[in-house]
């Protein structure tokens, strides 16, 4: 895995957090603190979400 923000190849972990509305899964970069939330389909499958180039260029994830 590579961090989309800082391009680090180490320190990327998948993390699951429990909130009062349910469980949230995502990927965390320990190098820069970037968090990318995944989402869960109705059938329970977790879909890994990655930003598209236009979103990165627009600065939405920076």
Question: Is 26 part of any domain?
Answer: yes
More confident site: 50 or 30:
30
Cα(19)–Cα(46) distance, integer angstroms: 17
C-alpha to C-alpha distance for 49 and 36, rounded to whole angstroms? 7
- pLDDT (mean) for 14-29: 82
Strands 46-47 and 22-29: unpaired
The answer to whether residue 53 scores a pLDDT higher than 80 is no
The verdict on residue 5 lying in a domain is no
62 belongs to a structural domain: no
Domain coverage including residue 38: 12-57
Residue 3 in domain = no
Phi, psi values for residue 6, rounded to 5°: -105, -5
- Distance between CA 31 and CA 47 in Å, rounded? 24
Number of separate domains in the chain: 1
Q: Answer whether residue 1 is part of any domain.
A: no
In a domain, 17, yes or no: yes
């Amino acid at each position: 895995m590579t961090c989309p923000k800082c391009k680090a190849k180490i320190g990327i972990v998948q993390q699951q957090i429990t909130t009062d509305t349910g469980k949230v899964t995502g990927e965390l970069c320990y190098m820069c603190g970037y968090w990318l939330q995944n989402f869960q389909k109705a059938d329970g499958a977790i879909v890994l979400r990655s930003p598209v180039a236009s979103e990165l260029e627009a600065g939405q994830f920076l």
